[in-house]
Chain A
């Protein structure tokens, strides 16, 4: 039996993704639509009667009259005209029961498509809590399609939808006469089918928004949230990181004991385990950061932050819309650059893409953590802040300030004045759902671990090869790595980077660091452990304690400054190329970041030495 093709459509913020997660669980695949940069989410499930369903989660849209690439994909897939996508057998249109005035208009648009449609009236529980009573049979008759109530965040919330899917396909709804005033029709349906007993102003969002959007308290709440986010990333992750670190050390020792002394043991222990291990250690931090961003997104707070920051963003010539892509870039610039697709203005979008790499991505955290831990004393300030957290906060702030300056320069160089628009929904507040958070985090963890498993391990192995060959002649003085290819490349790079206070070991680590920033930590571990001739897992664990004896404080600060601008990773450049289809933009991004990094590290080094 061929599976049933179902597409989930609906307005943004209708709870579509929660319903998708509820139906498919972890049987999901995330990719891109053919020939477009829009994320494509597909999943599978089996109905109680045993039908297999292939479920496509279409991008949220306010109208079939598309104004963004995301909405265009939704329009074309629904119409069955998207090349490479099977036309859906059934559209499940999701509408938030608490927001029917907005969502029903889009539902009525669906009637023009000539496909069977089922309306999933989502968050029906919240509507009841808000004092709304909905006459389902009447709604079904007036809207001209079957209606099922759903609760995307409850375990059995899709039961009626599943039962409906096991029935035969509903008939194709009759299209509305051309020129029907959809708003008037929605108003009529609402007055016929919905009774509202609680006044609007008593709703939770009204009361919360009085604080959250307040001109004074709003920014205070935002700053407190962001500050705790960064303190949490630094403080809460520590015990977990220590645990993983100890585990990797133990693994290295066990493997080292099993293997005979020689090249293979060196490859496994010094190359693979030390290199990958020192990066896997940072997984807890990255997950905590993503958990914060996901929770803020799920709760409906992010668009409010964009509202509060719109004015600030307009100083950089951008709109509040750029805030969400830029905030995502704190986790990783790749999803950040991809999220710029929601910015309609092409110039705003280009500027946002160019400054996204200045937001401190999580791949830079391993480098920051290592250097801050090694060189900045763990000292309390004013009783509850600690100096390490403050320095980390400062590095993030430096990236943001630089982004504003760069955006202004770009705007001044390219002054075409098209009206900058904001026009953005402020969705209802929701308690983030643990299952949706867990699935989102799992997705992130998988991507991160796959990068460790492929790019990063192969790079550390390559580096191990460069650092091990050629071997020094018997009885040669000095550490072995000095004789190797890596040592030679490092020495060749030294004249360029010596003015920044970098030694040749840093130069060696910078090479793979260009491919993926976090590899620099693994590379340093490899270079130093091979160089010192001690046990590798020991060295990897003790890299932090070892560095202060090798580097001056000025060198460490200079490297931190370098990494604020850090010539970016190949993945970021690749996604910029894909999103802009222009090598010129890629060259511009790489060039200006390198120049800024060099200048900042140079200044930092020389100022720090004078102090």
Chain B
């Protein structure tokens, strides 16, 4: 599933980051900021007026990103032991 579809408060693990239409600067920056396979991620808040953008916690850091940006990140929900 995509990070943009992840319900708030659910722990998940990143599988990959897509480059829509070839080398994508947003995807590149996401990877530099730590959105890399295996990293734990969680949506900690959604903004008022329609739930866009998202606030996401990855590692020790929180980022704000729009749903279109979050849609580049593929995740799977973490198991209960994680």
Contacts and interface: CB of A to CB of B under 8 A. Distances in A.
Interface of A: 62-63, 65, 67, 98-102, 105, 183, 200, 205-206, 209-210, 213-216, 218-219, 303, 306-308, 310-312, 319-320, 419-426
Contacts of A101: 34, 59-61
Contacts of B28: 65
Contact of B33 (A98, A102, A205, A216): A102
B55 A99 contact: no
Main SS class of interface, B: mixed
Name the interface size band of chain B.
20 to 34
Interface string B38-67: 010000111111111101010111111110
B47 A102 contact: no
A98 B53 contact: no
B25 interface: yes
B69 interface: yes
Contacts of A209: 44-45, 55, 62
B60 A426 contact: no
B48 A216 contact: yes
B47 A423 contact: no
Nearest to B46: A215
B68 interface: yes
A303 B50 contact: no
B53 A62 contact: no
B6 interface: no
Contacts of A206: 44, 57
B27 to A, nearest CB: 11
B32 A105 contact: yes
B9 to A, nearest CB: 10
A455 B33 CA distance: 45
Given A216-B48, A419-B68, A205 B32 contact: no
Contact of A308 (B32, B33, B48, B66): B48
Contacts of A423: 26, 29-30, 33, 63-66, 69
Contacts of A303: 64
Contacts of A420: 66
B62 A320 contact: no
Given A421-B66, A422-B65, A102 B45 contact: no
**Closest 3 CB pairs between A and B?**
A101-B59, A213-B45, A426-B62
Contacts of A99: 59-61
A63 B69 contact: no
Nearest to B59: A101
Contacts of B33: 62, 102, 423, 425
A424 B34 contact: no
A183 B34 contact: yes
A320 B55 contact: no
Nearest to A422: B66
A311 B47 CA distance: 8
Interface string B17-31: 000000001101111
Contacts of A205: 62
Contacts of A308: 47-48
Contact of B60 (A62, A102, A306): A102
B55 A98 contact: no
A307 B47 contact: yes
Nearest to B49: A311
Given A105-B32, A183-B36, A422-B69, A310 B55 contact: no
Nearest to A218: B48
B48 A311 contact: yes
B62 to A, nearest CB: 4
B55 A307 contact: yes
Contacts of B64: 303, 306-307, 310, 320, 422-426
B32 A65 contact: yes
A437 to B, nearest CB: 24
A213 B55 contact: yes
Contacts of B69: 421-423
A65 B59 CA distance: 21
Nearest to A127: B60
Contacts of B66: 310, 319, 420-423
Given A312-B49, A422-B53, A213 B44 contact: yes
Contacts of A65: 28, 32
Contact of A421 (B26, B32, B51, B62): B26
Nearest to A315: B49
Given A65-B28, A65-B32, A102 B48 contact: no
Given A218-B48, A426-B55, 12 more contacts: A99-B60, A101-B59, A101-B60, A102-B33, A102-B61, A200-B57, A215-B45, A308-B48, A311-B52, A312-B49, A420-B66, A422-B66
Given A65-B32, A105-B32, A307 B60 contact: no
A424 B70 CA distance: 12
A215 B48 contact: yes
28 contacts: A62-B32, A65-B32, A67-B25, A99-B61, A101-B61, A102-B34, A105-B32, A105-B34, A206-B57, A209-B45, A209-B55, A210-B45, A213-B44, A215-B45, A215-B46, A215-B48, A218-B48, A307-B47, A308-B47, A320-B64, A423-B26, A423-B63, A423-B65, A424-B63, A425-B33, A425-B61, A426-B62, A426-B63
